[in-house]
A and B are shown apart, each in its own frame.
Chain A
Amino acid sequence: MTYDIQVKGLSFRYHEQAPYVLKDISLEVKRGEWLAVLGHNGSGKSTLAKFFNALHVPEEGEVMACGHLTNDPSQHPFIRRQVGMVFQNPDNQLVAPTVEDDVAFGLENAGVPYDEMQKRVYESISRLGLSGLEKQEPHRLSGGQKQRVALAGALALRPRVIVLDEATSMLDPMGRQEVIATVQKLREEENLTIVTITHDVREAVSADRIIVLKEGRIEQDGTPQDILTNESALHQAQLKTPFAVQVAQELRKYHVRLPDNVLTEEELVEALCRLKQTTSHINI
């Protein structure tokens, strides 16, 4: 088994007198896995993400990214090309006057030859459904488009891992949907490892695995199925149970027989419509 991210016994505080924001974290992310890191504001999830591409380096414990210890500064250029990041605020990470220049920015810094660069820029733009916007000024785009440009820039470097750090939390619902759909598509089409950091449980539904962080510790580690139907654990971590799960749980109290794996509105509607043929399992 190949692991793209390996964290062992990681603890972290910003300075010596400060309280620990990460406490003895150990975790592994497999090649090709989609891991969602859930937690409320201040739970340490964004701090943790910054260890994945050596923006923070451990003083206690160790972090390996794509097979290299992040403590070794000579490996940082390699690690940062292998682990791409997209941050929260779409307006803070676009730097160039046009979409194509922005996507090319990282490649230019990495010294990729011009012909190769052109190829990769257009490939990346078309993969993210941004064709036709090459010459647009980034600040005129919608929030969802801006985040996709940021993602295109990261992907052009052909990383193994993409980390989305609350990349949708400043977007309107359409923009959020756009970005999530893009991530799902990338997940299906390529062997990318994806880490999404979020407090929105709806974004974690299609991940392979979820960890829940609370006060700097991993509180839960499991499949969306395990985690998102565990109302008390989510509540303790100050997270909201997905609406469809809440409705399903209430309906079960009325003896409506629903399968355990209902996580989304689509699945709930499907299950409710299937109840048609059967009778006599409701008690009101």
Chain B
Amino acid sequence: MQIKADNLTYKYMKNTPFEKEALKGFNITIPEGRFTSVIGHTGSGKSTFIQHLNGLLKPSSGTVAVGDWTIRADTKQKHLYELRRHASIVFQFPEHQLFHETVLSDVAYGPVNFGLSKLEAEKRAKEYLELAGIHPDMFDRSPFDLSGGQMRRVAIAGVLALNPKLLILDEPTAGLDPEGQVKMMELFYDWFQEKKERSIILVTHQMEDAARYSDEIVLMDKGTVKDQGRPHQVFSKAGELKAMGLSVPESVKLLSMLREQSGEDMSTAAFTLEETVDQVLEFLRKRGVSDRV
């Protein structure tokens, strides 16, 4: 589903002394089938923006179009019911939303709600639980007896089982250990690649993930879009990001420091270990430390 925000403005606690404009005439187009990361400092409006994408929030003014749905200030809730089958949000710490008696019934809850029979819903729940790396032994256990990482996988299986076209992820790897983080991102990326029409919007502070998986990065600042482009473009402006209180991927940070300290003109566009090593070797060659033994 294509996403298009047109002059989108959102005010929290409208018409009260606490009124705060979180999105200020926000414009953006994100084509279908893309992996897009949204980055920005805490309070830049990232979470407010993504909550518009399945109608949890409605614009104070302006519009958001998601696929065939257009959401305005006066859009009725019942008009959005169908949209929510196709656009799903995984909130931060989704394991806090588990509630059912067993792992299986928790995951099947959403599909049943959207009209599947119990049998069909459980079949689909099993499929996505296995995809999320939950062993069938655990299906009949209480979700609250699982480890934190497993609980999160169950919660995410519950969202994937709705078979959305657009998956919106808010800091999905926060609090996981390094291996857990990689596994979680691979799970989403595999899901994303399986079908051409699937899209992901990832809100993250993990710049390495944003750089590695995204087709495009959206940089938000003070309720507006500050920059939108491929990871190489957005992360080439390390100074600007730093001024906004953001970090860059560690590879970019290392190369930027090297460039600054040496005064050598060099590219800082590298997101993997191999690319970084290549850039450093290139740097050494340029400096004449590259005599072959």
Using a CB–CB cutoff of 8 Å, the interface residues on chain A facing chain B are: 40-42, 88, 142-143, 166, 169-170, 172-175, 199-200, 238-240, 243-244, 246-247, 250-251, 254-256, 265-266, 268-270, 272-273, 275-276, 278-284
* Nearest-CB residue, chain A, relative to B208: A243
* Nearest-CB residue, chain B, relative to A235: B179
B289 touches A244 (CB 8 A): no
CA distance A154 to B42 in the complex (A): 26
B251 touches A243 (CB 8 A): yes
B250 touches A143 (CB 8 A): no
A143 touches B258 (CB 8 A): no
Which residues of B254-293 have CB atoms within 8 Å of chain A's CB atoms?
254, 257-258, 261-262, 273, 276-277, 280-281, 283-285, 287-293
Q: A239-B177, A280-B291 are in contact. List 5 more A-B contacts (CB 8 A).
A: A40-B178, A173-B246, A250-B277, A272-B262, A272-B283
A247 touches B261 (CB 8 A): no
B147 touches A275 (CB 8 A): no
B177 touches A199 (CB 8 A): yes
A247 touches B257 (CB 8 A): no
A282 touches B178 (CB 8 A): no
B256 to chain A, nearest CB (A): 10
Q: Is the interface of B mostly helix, strand, loop or mixed?
A: helix
B147 touches A41 (CB 8 A): yes
1/0 per residue B32-44: CB within 8 Å of A?
0000000001100
A276 touches B292 (CB 8 A): no
* Number of interchain pairs (Cβ within 8 Å): 112
Using a CB–CB cutoff of 8 Å, the interface residues on chain B facing chain A are: 41-42, 147-149, 174-180, 205, 207, 245-247, 250-251, 253-254, 257-258, 261-262, 273, 276-277, 280-281, 283-285, 287-293
Q: Given A239-B178, A246-B273, A247-B277, A283–B293 Cβ distance below 8 Å? A: yes
B288 touches A172 (CB 8 A): no
Q: Given A41-B147, A279-B288, A280-B291, A269–B175 Cβ distance below 8 Å? A: no
CA distance A270 to B205 in the complex (A): 27
* Nearest-CB residue, chain B, relative to A276: B287
* Nearest-CB residue, chain B, relative to A268: B254
A243 touches B254 (CB 8 A): yes
Q: Which residues of chain A are within 8 angstroms of B180 by Cβ–Cβ distance?
A: 40-41
B175 touches A88 (CB 8 A): yes
Q: Which residues of chain A are within 8 angstroms of B174 by Cβ–Cβ distance?
A: 169-170
B280 touches A282 (CB 8 A): no
B276 touches A247 (CB 8 A): yes
Q: Which residues of chain A are within 8 angstroms of B251 by Cβ–Cβ distance?
A: 243
Q: Given A199-B177, A247-B277, A272-B280, A41–B292 Cβ distance below 8 Å? A: no
Q: Given A42-B147, A88-B175, A269-B258, A282–B291 Cβ distance below 8 Å? A: yes
* Nearest-CB residue, chain A, relative to B206: A173
B178 touches A199 (CB 8 A): yes
CA distance A101 to B8 in the complex (A): 40
Q: Which residues of chain A are within 8 angstroms of B283 by Cβ–Cβ distance?
A: 272
Q: Which residues of chain A are within 8 angstroms of B261 by Cβ–Cβ distance?
A: 269-270, 273
A265 touches B42 (CB 8 A): no
- Residue from B41, B148, B174, B289 with most neighbouring chain A CB atoms (10 Å): B289
B290 touches A282 (CB 8 A): yes
A41 touches B42 (CB 8 A): no
Q: Which residues of chain B are within 8 angstroms of A284 by Cβ–Cβ distance?
A: 281, 285, 290, 292
- Please pick, from B176, B250, B293, the residue contacting A265 in the complex, using a CB distance under 8 A: B250
B148 to chain A, nearest CB (A): 6
Q: Which residues of chain A are within 8 angstroms of B281 by Cβ–Cβ distance?
A: 251, 254, 256, 282, 284
- Please pick, from B175, B177, B207, B273, the residue contacting A250 in the complex, using a CB distance under 8 A: B273
